[in-house]
Copies of this chain bind each other. A is one copy, B any other.
């Protein structure tokens, strides 16, 4: 039961019904392809005539294509298979990280083309743009020859003002109030640029993924554990943004308000307990709350290294991981109690130790969730090899064609 916003509604025009049904048909072709017009009419519970009209228009718009005739089990005319058209130009996905920028090229329906490449990040805004422009053009030529870029999705670790296209604050990059949209549009004239926060991009990557089970994951949470903790929340198939595009910052709910100092200025944030730096600090023997994590002595030792040691016989490493696992679970329980999602996805380096830590995570979840049902929520890891941030960035470009029209 949704209330219509009297200051922001969308009237149904002559073409609204068709618009809705076309998007539904397109979505179903995406999830069921190859699929015939007759199949669609059954899936949509409408008549074949209507489907013919809708499909013809989608064909004209080149959003779908006809394939070979399918084989019919019993007798009757063979169906014409319909597929999503993946040749509508390419999307460029960029993941801006502290030291390197990662880049993926996809076709118009978000399927990866070639390999992920990377190039260095320059912190100075002008140089950042110039280097990025040069590299993107170079690698696109490499990967996709003459294909036209229809859009560029850019994922940034930090808070974004999407209305003005600026990075409000990114501790990772050391950026505050850096304009990004406008210079990028100047660098790539005529190409649509989309900016997104990394936590929200990860959530998008799972929302728009075509899952094997065919079930849509329309109420999900993605928790990305890395230098910081990024969270993206999807409710009703839509990323929750809030009034200032700041929603989803579960990384800073407290575990204990008197706990270790966090990069955000407060203390005892979840992030301060489970970020990679927190885990490493724990391993190097400091009490979690006694020092600022930044001042780590062993600069090049990573969580991946820690996990390798834990798999060896380094009990101290295992203890550090298990401790993080417990706090991870405690925080997840808060998210579960607050959102009650269908599924939780976890990304970040620590997922490589999932077989070691999962029991501790689950136990902590059970400990703090309100009901047994909530304690059993599915928790799935997303390995780095799936590039959730990059796939989310690509979705920024490729997904709008499939999105539900805004109505009422």
Q: Which residues of A are at the interface with B, using a C-beta cutoff of 8 A?
A: 1-9, 11-14, 16-18, 20-21, 23-24, 27-28, 30-32, 44-46, 159, 168-169, 207-208, 214-216, 218-219, 233, 235-250, 252-259, 264, 266, 268, 330, 334, 337-342, 367-368, 370-371, 373-374, 377, 399-400, 402-405, 407-408
Contacts and interface: CB of A to CB of B under 8 A. Distances in A.
A240 to B, nearest CB: 6
15 contacts: A3-B208, A4-B237, A4-B403, A6-B214, A6-B216, A12-B16, A13-B17, A14-B17, A20-B408, A243-B373, A249-B338, A249-B370, A250-B337, A256-B257, A407-B407
Contacts of A339: 240, 242, 247
B216 A243 contact: no
B268 A256 contact: yes
Given A255-B256, A334-B334, 8 more contacts: A4-B24, A4-B404, A5-B216, A17-B17, A236-B236, A246-B374, A249-B338, A249-B340
Contacts of A45: 11
Scoring A159, A235, A240, A337 by chain B CB atoms within 10 A of each residue's CB, the highest score goes to A337
Contacts of A4: 23-24, 27, 237, 402-404
A6 B31 CA distance: 7
Contact of A371 (B31, B159, B338, B399): B159
Contact of A2 (B13, B237, B266): B237
Contact of A407 (B5, B20, B399): B20
A389 B129 CA distance: 54
A246 B340 contact: yes
Given A244-B373, A246-B370, A404 B2 contact: yes
A236 B338 contact: no
Nearest to A169: B371
Given A21-B11, A249-B337, A249-B370, A3 B237 contact: yes
Contact of A1 (B233, B254, B399): B399
Contact of A243 (B3, B28, B30, B341): B341
Contacts of A246: 337, 340, 370-371, 373-374
B7 A216 contact: yes
A247 B236 CA distance: 13
A83 B99 CA distance: 62
Contact of A247 (B159, B242, B338): B338
A266 B12 CA distance: 49
A388 to B, nearest CB: 16
